């Protein structure tokens, strides 16, 4: 997973769980509100600055937003090295225990 995608996901998760901290997170908050992942309102500024978001009134995430944050967190977790190492270890242990059980059953007969 690219670093840019990871950072974007982390930002969305942070805004959904904690609300926008400052003006640097207003664009993300406005996008989440527009897409129905959060409740609230936002105002654009049209004073020659490209229509940036001037203010956000954050009412919190919707149920859809909470589910979206959980899905993104799961994607981040699955992309982590720790998750991959855990899956390799789990598969190795499963294979080894399967071999041991098979050997034990065969030695009984």
pLDDT in tens, 50-60: 778 989 999 99
Helix 81-108 crosses helix 63-79 at what angle (to 10 degrees)?
Answer: 70
The number of residues making up the chain comes to: 109
| Count of other CB atoms within 10 angstroms of residue 5 | 13
pLDDT less than 50: residues of the chain: none
Residue spans of alpha helices (H) in the chain? 3-18, 26-34, 63-79, 81-108
Q: What is the rounded CA–CA span in Å between residue 6 and residue 89?
A: 25
pTM, two decimals, is: 0.67
Q: What is the rounded CA–CA span in Å between residue 14 and residue 81?
A: 21
Q: What is the rounded CA–CA span in Å between residue 40 and residue 56?
A: 7
Residue-level pLDDT at 45: 84
Residue-level pLDDT at 25: 95
Residue-level pLDDT at 63: 97
């Amino acid at each position: 997973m690219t670093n840019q995608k990871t950072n974007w996901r982390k930002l969305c998760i942070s805004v959904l769980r904690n609300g926008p901290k400052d003006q640097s997170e207003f664009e993300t908050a406005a996008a989440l509100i527009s897409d129905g992942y959060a409740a609230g309102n936002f105002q654009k500024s049209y004073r020659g600055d490209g229509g940036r978001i001037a203010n956000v009134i954050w009412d919190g995430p919707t149920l859809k937003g909470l589910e979206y944050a959980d899905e993104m967190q799961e994607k981040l977790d699955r992309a982590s090295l720790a998750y991959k190492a855990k899956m390799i270890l789990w598969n190795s242990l499963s294979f080894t225990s399967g071999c041991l059980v098979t050997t034990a059953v065969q030695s009984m007969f």
